[in-house]
Chains A and B, each alone.
Chain A
Amino acid sequence: MRRALNLTRYYRFIMYAIVVVLVNVAGATLFFRVDLTSSRVYSLSRASREAVATLSEPLTIKVFFTGNLPAPYNNIERYLGDLLQEYAVAGNRYFNYEFFNVSSDGDERARQNQEAARNYGVFPVQIQKIEQDEMKFQTAHMGMVFIHGDIIETIPTITSTEGLEFQVTSTIRKMNNKISALLSLKENISVKLFLSSSLEVVAPYMNLAGLSDLPGETEKLVSRLNEKNYGRLAFSHLDPSRDADGRREAEGHNILSLRWEEFKDRKGRTIPADSGYAGIIVGHGDRREEIPLIRVVRIPVFGTQYLLAEMEELEGDIENTIENIIDVNEKTGYLADHGTHPLETTQGAFGQPGTEPLSRFGSLLSAEYTVTPVKIKEEGIPEGIRSLIIAGPREPFTDYDLYQIDQFLMKGRNLAIFLDPFEESAPQGGMAMGGGPAASRPIETGLEKLLAHYGITVKKSYIMDENCFKQSISRAFGGGERPIYFAPIIKSEFINNDVPFLKNIKGLIMLKASPVEIEDEKIKKAGLKAEKLFSSSERSWEMAEGINQNPLFMQPPTQEDAYRQMAIAYTLEGPFPSYFADRPVPVKEEETEGEGTAGKGAADKAKGGVTPTLLTTAETIEKGKPGKIFLIGTSEILKNNVMDDEGRSPNAQFIMNVIDYANDREDNAVMRTKAQRFNPLMDVGPATRTFVKTANIVGLPVIVVIAGLFVWFRRKSRKRMVQEMFGKA
């Protein structure tokens, strides 16, 4: 009887144990997570949730992961599973994911999965494991494939959970953005061609052959684009010469208008004074963007030239503008002339390497954006890029170049400018040969006057800071540390974390940076908003004259009033006033005469003999749409010695966040840096450190011992009291 009772107990325990196991198994699939971190590191960002909630076509993610991998790779699989489950919760019915076991145990299904992984471009990698007291290598698949319509994207190897959400969301966005955005539009995108029929009379004198065919050609072009854009484009042609509404609308937008005085044509007939409009407006909702049809260029000797847009060029411009309108444009411009740093290695003279390239920055940039090299001198700034990066220009900009940059900004586009104050040239023979320090020459590109007009300037000096990078000196040279004053360390308290794209950046390092200053009066008057991003410490000073960057010869100033905090980077936002608002449109300086359209124009002019006097209006946008400028007084921070390959350092993340900001993708920036773990302590002196250590290592146990002694004495005295009581009795 008792034995049966005992057995029942054990049976009950076994039952309970089975229930516990089953509850845990069920809990592994039905679970909830609470993210306690302040930056929601382990929760999906808004950008990620939006990316999967707006899918309009099935997106399947296939994860090829070898099962039962040794640590730390096994954690990646769990993290990935959790992450994809969160995507599935946030996603709509089009989001699917599936895990495929690609183990190497010879199982038929596993072999099929391996084959599938290979076909998608997920190849095995070698990882280390310990087996029978020996270090061995194992091949493992750790990749994922995204399938969306006809598009296939692959992340071939995942070796870390860091930045995985960013990677997954970026891939989904890249594949799905345009399709989803187009299909979820409540109304069609209008493509309006404003072309006055009155222009046909003056077209031959402006070298604008084919102007009359333009409406038909454009309509064909839009219907061709409609096939790629799910039929969401609505074309219309308005003739402002005949249609009063069209005229009013054309006047409301910034469309090129041409006016001419009465003149006689080649046959002697009188052509009355008139005017006409030419341009395309792409719009949706309250957003409008203009595409010029005729470019006006003033060339010395040849005079004003009119260039009609080519159809291929127009196709690209319309496509890019549509992407801008629906917010899926991933094109960013990079200024590739005026002596800026190349993104890739270039060949110098005699096979020597050219200017130091920004290859790490370039590869990080091209991983997320389609980088369009912009050669202002030759081709101007193409339509449809949302931002232009200007990194360390060395050569002067002509007024016509500046005009293009100014007008680019007026169109509501953005600039990210990394401006160097000085150009350094190595001395003859080098320092080792007794050649003295490197010579520094102030750089004057002309961009400075444009920026000054907007109310922001980069000073011609370097910021030196006592709170800076310290270089370790080898024992052979005496040991210790040498401060590199021109490499200030930007502490967390001097970074403006209210700016969304700086939210989790808690420390940066600068290099040869210059102070950036703003003119409050000008900025206020223009209705702009300036935001200081970060500053040097209070123990910083300026080196403006006698530039010598040899750390051996650098000494902090002895006068206390030389020290002050200086701003290193700023952003300006708002409707910028054009530098060329009350100036004539600059003349384009042609390098080679008699080429291209200019030449044709000249020839035409020579044989035509008769030229109407044309006045163009609305050519210069005087007050822009809201745009952005990011300005920092150094391009050194883009170089390979500061940027890391993976883009995980605070500096690299800051730079990429700036590019996101310039491309109106701040949610991307927030997602990128939310897992940023760099969180340095404030500067504390040795005394504070000793106090903190002593208080916690020694102080706490001492308090416990004192408490113990107090209890012990109390007990002892109570014992004595009881003994005395009974002793008396």
Chain B
Amino acid sequence: MKNAAHIFVKEFKGYFISPIAYIVISLFLILSGWFFFSTFFLFNQAELRSFFSLLPVMFSFVIPAVTMRLFSEEFNTGSFELLSTMPVSSAEIIIGKFLAAFSFVVLMLIPTLSYGIFISFMGDLDIGPWIGGYAGAMLIGAAFSAIGLFASSLTRNQIIAFIVGMTICIVTTLVDKMLFFLPEAALSVFQFLGADFHFQNISRGILDSRDVLYFLSVCFVMLYLTHLVIQEKK
């Protein structure tokens, strides 16, 4: 795991060398702040529900943008061949890169804690759903990071990696909203596959083992698929 830690540090630092990280975080904060606070005082309720309900859709765009370069850039510049010759397993590479992306998502969420802090001065904010919301945000962030990483492992083109990652994320986010159009027999299966369905439960303040299990399963399946793709590339 030492190698994974090295890769994690390198990738995480790599985010902040270029202006991309700051641009992505700033855009995320502008959008989430605008969507949340534009109606916040109209609803006049001391809660963060509308912020958390926005997160899955926003993450569907932001996280693939964060993860698109992780493998694609390596394939494109040829540095992946160099990495392959080093005494490091593909699992360590994947875990290192995944943790870097996940840590970046957590870092991106940290400034939004100020929303809750401001609201707690203006009303009686229930801490439970606040904690639950962030726990859910980290779980969905981890799942989408794994999806983005898988998308990045498929191609050397970052734009394609972004589009593939975004498509998978948006489909898993919106699948439970599209149940109208799906055959009746498959409704419960598709609903279970919906990331937003599981996220909304946690963001309401219920930490349910089924939802946690779902996000961990998505992480595992996606990271394993990435592992298969990397093995193929090696």
Contact = CB atoms under 8 A, between A and B. Distances in A.
A456 B188 CA distance: 59
Q: Which of B34, B112, B122, B221 has the most CB of A within 10 A?
A: B122
Nearest to B135: A36
B117 to A, nearest CB: 10
A13 B224 contact: yes
A726 interface: no
Contacts of B112: 700
A729 interface: no
Contacts of A67: 184, 188
B209 A704 contact: no
B88 interface: no
Interface string A392-407: 0000000000000000
Chain B interface mostly: helix
B207 interface: yes
Contacts of A32: 208-209
A263 interface: no
Interface string B204-233: 111111100110010011001100100110
A692 B37 contact: yes
B17 interface: yes
Nearest to A497: B124
Contacts of A696: 33, 36-37, 114-115, 118
Interface in A10-67: 10, 13, 16-17, 20, 23-24, 27-28, 31-39, 41-42, 67
Interface stretch (A146-154, A311-319, A428-436, A705-713): A705-713
A36 to B, nearest CB: 3
Interface stretch (A68-76, A377-385, A623-631): A68-76
A700 B221 contact: no
Interface string B153-195: 0000000000000000000000011011100110110011000
B206 A34 contact: yes
Given A28-B210, A36-B131, A679 B114 contact: no
Interface residues of A, number: 60
B58 to A, nearest CB: 14
B29 interface: yes
B128 A37 contact: yes
A107 to B, nearest CB: 12
A625 to B, nearest CB: 37
Interface string A674-689: 0001111110100011
A164 to B, nearest CB: 15
Contact of A33 (B119, B131, B206): B206
A695 B114 contact: yes
B85 to A, nearest CB: 19
Given A35-B205, A700-B33, A705 B44 contact: no
A71 B180 contact: yes
Interface in A469-516: 492, 506
A529 interface: no
A70 B132 CA distance: 27
B9 interface: no
A339 to B, nearest CB: 39
Nearest to B112: A700
Interface in A110-151: 129-131
Nearest to B225: A13
B25 interface: yes
Contacts of B209: 27, 31-33
A39 B26 CA distance: 35
Interface string B1-42: 000000000000000110101100111011001101100110
B179 to A, nearest CB: 5
A703 interface: yes
Given A23-B213, A37-B128, A705 B114 contact: no
Contacts of B115: 696
Contacts of B26: 701, 704-705
A684 B208 CA distance: 36
Contacts of B188: 67-68, 74
A16 B224 contact: yes
B138 interface: no
B29 A704 contact: yes
B111 A36 contact: no
Interface string B63-78: 0000000000000000
Contacts of A31: 208-210
B207 A707 contact: no
A21 to B, nearest CB: 8
A9 interface: yes
Interface string B44-75: 11110000000000000000000000000000
Interface string A536-570: 00000000000000000000000000000000000
A681 B111 contact: no
B231 A679 contact: no
B48 to A, nearest CB: 11
A695 B29 CA distance: 11
A17 B181 CA distance: 27
10 contacts: A10-B228, A20-B221, A32-B209, A33-B207, A71-B177, A105-B184, A492-B124, A681-B119, A684-B122, A700-B33
